Amino acid sequence: MIPNKMITNIEKGGVMIKTFISLLLILFFSNIAEGQWIKNGLVVFDTITNKTYSLPQIAGDASGTGAYICWADIRNFPYENIYAQRIDSSGKIYWQRNGVLLCHASGGRDWPQIISDGDGGFIAAWEDYRNPNSTDIYSQKVDINGKLLWGDSAVGLSNKYPGLFVKIASDGDGGAFYTWIYYGAHDYMVLAQKVNKLGKREWGDAGIIVAGPSEKVIYNHDAVISVDGNGGAVITWAESGDIYSQRFDKKGKRLWGEKGVLISTNNDKSQIFVYTIFDGINNTYVTWVNYDGILHLQKITNEGLLLWKSDKIDSMPYTGGGGARRLISDKEGGIFLGVGRSIQHIDSSGKKLWGDHGAYYIDSTAEVTNSQMVNDGDGGVINVSQATIGYPQVVAQKIDKYGKASWGKKGKPLTDNPEMHNFPQIVSDGNGGGIVTWGSKNIGFAVLALRITNDGILTRVSEPNSNREGDLQLKNYPNPFNPETTILYTIPKKGLVEIKIYDLQGKEVICLEKTIQEGGEHKTRWDGRTNAGAKASSGMYFYQIVFDNKVLTKKMILIH
């Protein structure tokens, strides 16, 4: 209980205590707490000085349940720079507020790409403007603690060829493969590089010329890369009306001849939106859209042989927005292919499993773009997209293994906040759901994140007047408190219960419970001490219960 003397001072308006309590209560009823999911998205980055879209990217962490989020912002006008943050499945943020700076060199940089590095951290690549006469490609490796492993200035991919539109794939050994496009005054080239886990360029200081120099147009973004399952990489590009692929071993040796394999030709008529993915066995899928808007798909063996006579995906025209670069493995040798408003499941023989038109994830009344998807762990996918339904927002949809939309014709909006929400990205949360990040425009441009479970629950901190998450209940009394408080909780069935206290930085203060308990009402006490037995300082804390993949978090105030 709070001592009578303290209550008296508060009632009399004691200046120090009154000010202290007022500040804490402002925090208590705010939604800015780092370290937990909140309604409408956890703020990963937000500052009014950022005046540009942040285009966030996301990759899974070592646990398979959390994520790394990377973005560009212009908080230090006039230059954009690249930042990153680590977040776990409960919404806990690990690194400093507004992220870790990935490069300390002069000039600006933007358009980041990001992959998991297989060592517990991630690798990012971007377009870099430190050289005032060219746009170069640089890369950085970051460990689980946010430490820069390839130096404060990062690693340049070429000492000779600048470029744009970098793409990145893991080399399976802690390093990465890269491809990018060089635009000369009268010619074009596709370049490639491999950087090992120590940050050393392995395919020469200049990199490898994959294609060109050529006067044929190589379209924006249309040089892409995927692994080959044998320590090498496959690079695919659109060169005017032709689609080519080339395979390289880990030493940079060409395996499909000097020019590569011609996948498709269209007599100088455009073929664009190229994408590629390894099937997990011995083959690579390549997809693209030709000039008349029809989607095409081809499958190539690691020996460079085209497996299908016809590459046209009938009845799936590229219309209605949504983005063509949505191609993921089904983990069984087939793929999920997204185009327009629909997603198709195609098995390893090329058979369409979800009807001629695929499964529609949103109805025709919404304008849709920038879609991404992940496996749901049960033969289906979870798709996120930017949809204009009154205002630009992020909408999720689950397509089950039978090709049925699970969350209604319009999907499930991730926010009810009428701001501008755009450029969503998603990564698996390891439990059939996903962690989603996106850009949002309010006063400045922010980066937000939210977790959506396999059954469509948007995990978040409960509202101040809410004490339940489904059948899970949580509250404490007294609040504020001194010197101890009782935490009451209810679980719906027998199972493992964890109750922990966190500070404002998301660091664990003490674990109060971690035992298997019977269903029903329970209680525990916190005496205001840490795991080490020291007295915790006055301030606001979070108390959290984790049970059966559900997380419920509340706020409380300790006053000495």
- Segment 367-381 shows an average pLDDT of 91
Mind listing the pLDDT tens digit for each residue in 5-62?
A: 333 333 334 444 444 444 444 444 343 334 478 778 888 887 655 566 678 999 999 8
Are the CB atoms for 542 and 36 separated by under 8 Å?
yes
Predicted pLDDT at 385: 92
Predicted pLDDT at 196: 98
Total-model pTM: 0.76
At how many degrees (to 10) do helices 15-28 and 4-12 cross?
90
Angle at 322 between CA 320 and CA 324, to 5 degrees: 105
Are the CB atoms for 292 and 313 separated by under 8 Å?
no
Strand partners of residue 446: 440
Class of domain 4-31+463-558: mainly beta
Alpha carbons 203 and 201: distance in angstroms, whole number: 6
Which residue, chain included where needed, has tokens 């755009």?
422
- Segment 184-194 shows an average pLDDT of 89
Alpha carbons 57 and 69: distance in angstroms, whole number: 6
**3 state DSSP class of 20:** helix
Is pLDDT at 483 greater than 80 in this prediction?
yes
8-state DSSP, 300: E
CA 68 to chain centroid? 7
Is the backbone of residue 108 left (phi > 0), alpha (psi -120 to 50) or beta? Answer: beta
Tokens found for residue 549: 């993949």
8-state DSSP, 507: -
Please say whether the dihedral angle defined by the alpha carbons of residues 296, 301, 306 and 308, taken in this order, is positive or negative: negative
User: What share of the chain has pLDDT > 90, as a percent?
Assistant: 56
- Segment 511-530 shows an average pLDDT of 93
Name the nearest CA neighbour of 197 among 248, 234, 159, 250.
250
**3 state DSSP class of 21:** helix
Which residue, chain included where needed, has tokens 């099937």?
279
Name the nearest CA neighbour of 195 among 146, 155, 144.
155
Is pLDDT at 326 greater than 90 in this prediction?
no
Top pLDDT among 58 and 324 is at 58
Tokens found for residue 44: 């990963």
Average pLDDT, whole number, for the chain? 85
Are the CB atoms for 447 and 56 separated by under 8 Å?
yes
For the chain, the domains span 4-31+463-558
Top pLDDT among 174 and 54 is at 174
